[in-house]
């Protein structure tokens, strides 16, 4: 299974905020959308400048306290993005996420942002794949 399969099933919507948005605005967006990270990019930009995750916000609150919520996203976002491509296998993506300890990967195609996947998406689709394989084996054994 490939990243493109996940995007085909879950959709290609990418939730973003601008670097100048406040952390408070980003927190509200994360809560409203029930997501764990948001990409940061300027309006109309083809690529993301960074990513802001719940983990970034918690660390920032521990360091700077509640005043962090009024600071711009650009101060807390992770700038070094790891991305994946639509043709990457689920195993490749799982390896990157595990080794880098990251939960969200933007998906790019020829330098253009086309989606985002989370570790939850990857696990869900990998489990479905394992269940299909097990069912195929049960049917093979039964025949």
What 3-state class would DSSP assign to 79? coil
pLDDT in tens, 1-14: 899 999 999 999 89
What 3-state class would DSSP assign to 96? helix
Q: What gap in Å lies between CA 78 and CA 128, rounded to an integer?
A: 31
Q: What gap in Å lies between CA 27 and CA 44, rounded to an integer?
A: 22
Could you tell me the fold of the domain covering 3-142?
CBS-domain (3.10.580)
Model pTM score: 0.84
pLDDT in tens, 45-66: 667 889 999 999 999 999 999 9
């Amino acid at each position: 299974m490939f990243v493109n399969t996940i995007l085909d099933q879950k959709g290609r919507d990418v939730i973003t905020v601008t670097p100048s948005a406040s952390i408070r605005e980003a927190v509200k967006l994360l809560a409203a959308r029930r997501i764990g990270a948001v990409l940061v990019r300027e309006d109309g930009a083809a690529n993301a400048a960074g990513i802001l995750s719940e983990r970034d916000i918690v660390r920032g609150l521990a360091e700077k306290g509640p005043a962090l919520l009024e600071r711009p996203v650009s101060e807390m976002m992770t700038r070094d993005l790891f991305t994946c491509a639509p043709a990457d296998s689920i195993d490749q993506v799982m390896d990157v996420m595990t080794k880098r300890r990251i939960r969200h990967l933007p998906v790019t195609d020829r330098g253009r942002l086309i989606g985002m996947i989370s570790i939850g998406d990857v696990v869900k689709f990998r489990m479905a794949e394992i269940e299909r394989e097990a069912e195929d084996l049960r049917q093979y054994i039964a025949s």
